[in-house]
Structure 1
């Protein structure tokens, strides 16, 4: 077998393997036959071959629409189209029929360009009766319509025009570019004629919902100069609204601007009002008198006007809102009218309104028995100028909405007022604090609190009962132990140390008696003073066990009470004064302060032979000072070396226990000043109990 024969066998085997891998058999089908393939047939991946002229490139997935002179079909590329292929090229495509959005499409496997540059087929006239015919899909047609809106989608690489075609609203898609975008704006509200690919718009259930046309360029749109436009009729707003004006009649209407936004003018002519759709916002202001030329725009409630041209005639004209009973505003003649009403604010919220779905403030208002919504720019609520419960005078545009659930007769579903800005609001009466909303809120909160309280009472009652005895016994045990520790500390710090000191002093005095009786007698006097001090400390401890003065009163009152006792026992006058606000602090610190003051007053009475004692307590937020001044004989030597002053050592020890400072000074005029200073914060933190 020659090399050529072997090569031919290998090619045949390769083709057979490719065919077997696809699992289908190659066959020719017409465009209509491909579109009629069902899901079961498409699952077998049937190989098809189509031949036609490229009439449109799709802007998103780079597919093409082919037209064979009678029918059209959509083809997706597998990779890239041949470089020489262009609009008008005749191509032969071999590929697989797959499921499309509505009808099956062809996914190209192999593409051959048979004619590169050929004139496009003459498109067939689009039949108005076939607008909702689903069989008209991917068809090369020509038709005309009125451009009413447009939107750009740069991320999807196309511009979408909204157009009225034979009274129906259709979409027209063109490739995205800045030039096409400017041309779309310039063609707003123009009647145009074009040729393009007519396709079916569907929902997610693959049901037809509308019609879309694909064109290659804005140059495919040709402006139609109608005869009506050459014969311009100038009408008043009243005549335009009430006369029989066809939608293809080119007319002019004069009026005063009551409101203007990006795409709309609202004209006023006496008691009549007109909504005008404009291409883009120009240099117009409220009060300008203008002449608007364009086409009638059929609307469910009142006719509108699509403006081709707007000319300013005059400026600063009066714009007077209508003032009629609120219930009359539901009359269709007041749709888009500038009205003024008095109303109470019931609620404040937000809503989405306008063609651009911008966030707006939404005021729920009440006028008499009627409740209505009032929409305003979001800045109205942000300014906090409006509050629930206010009575306002509102000036805005009346908006009426048709009831669509009753198709056999016309009726108004609802009415709302659209404010132009914050200046349209005049406060007639300020809101009272106790509004209905606040009453409801307070009631709900009280009910909630009551419910929570009841829940906790019910759920915790058994737990409290179980824990009461345990907690009571623990508290009792802890109190007993704490009191025992305090008594033990008091006995150790005062009585025990005093008795130990007496024992040492007695031992020293015995030795002194052996050498010098006079010196031993002096030691015995010191022992006597120490015994008196221990006796006093014992009486204080017993008094505390019985419920001391500090259990019933603060330290200031206790010092006054003790001063009264001393005045009854001694011929002395004691004055107790307080500076600042008396405050309680830790019980342990209070006992030490009281003991120091009591010891100072007792020493002045018994040893200093004083006639007057001045006790002054100075309270500040962070400290306490106690000053005890007497007019006694004072000290002739160091107080720590003088007999009869053993208590001063105890006072200094008590001051140290509560982080205080004790000073003893001789006054030039005679007498002694004892001063105790301690920080209340530290005093409060000391807790030896």
Structure 2
């Protein structure tokens, strides 16, 4: 492969990663817009609430004055009633009119007090709901930042690795193509998952803003839906991050990381996977562990997408010089002429061969598929290593 072709592939790869990052950045901008609007609305509600609290205090004082006034008028009316025969008709009528006016004024003030208190309570509920939206948006932005950091870091590693593989021109083409497909997959997952969910968050938040003043119960329903959307988006972002680089692989090692991955795979797909280790487990070099993890991950993905299998097995054996892996399923298998073509098998083979390993696959129509992998534990040259 000449230099021009290398440059072309590098540009294509960088373009895919750039578009992936742009998709996440765009979603991040949308969430920021929601967050800023929610904060502005919170400030407006807080100002209204403070003003309303002052009005409530004032009207409570006015109600107390009206109550005292009405009490005085009642006492005066009681005295007039006792002296009815000794007072003029005009004096009696005046006493009755004052008492009646005091009662009406008190009733009006009490009604005003009730309406203001109800309005204050409604504003307090709106403010609480608004702050809930702000909190959720801030958490989602934090998760997006984590995803962006992973992508940017992964891109830097990838560029360094490509520089190291310039002398292996034919192999470089295949590796780049595999990485391009991976980036496209990530871009699709983000676009179809978190990005769509974030757009829904924006629409739901705007709907909630409108409903809060019209139908508080429906607004609560929509806020619950908004919460579910945010939770699902967070789950999808975490899954993307885990697929990029499972933290358990670095922290705990290959077998614990695979055990967790296979457990989640079985729960998600309903395919039973028997995972076993036939010898004592020992930590391996990072390049071997990530290769083993990615190969098993790709094999299980193929089983999920294409095999129609109900059961599968993954067996590991750690030897002094080699690590062996056997992956089997009871699915529909491949035609003989299609073995080794497509379904990510080429990428799996290349990962293993980079480490001087062996990759063998056997499959028969309606009789399932078996993959055998053997990787030497030592003797891998540094310039042959490609991390996942």
**Which bin holds the TM-score, normalised by the shorter protein?**
0.3 to 0.5
The structure that is strand-richer by fraction is 1
Q: Give the structure with higher Rg (CA).
A: 1
TM-score (norm 2): 0.39
The structure that is helix-richer by fraction is 2
TM-score (norm 1): 0.23
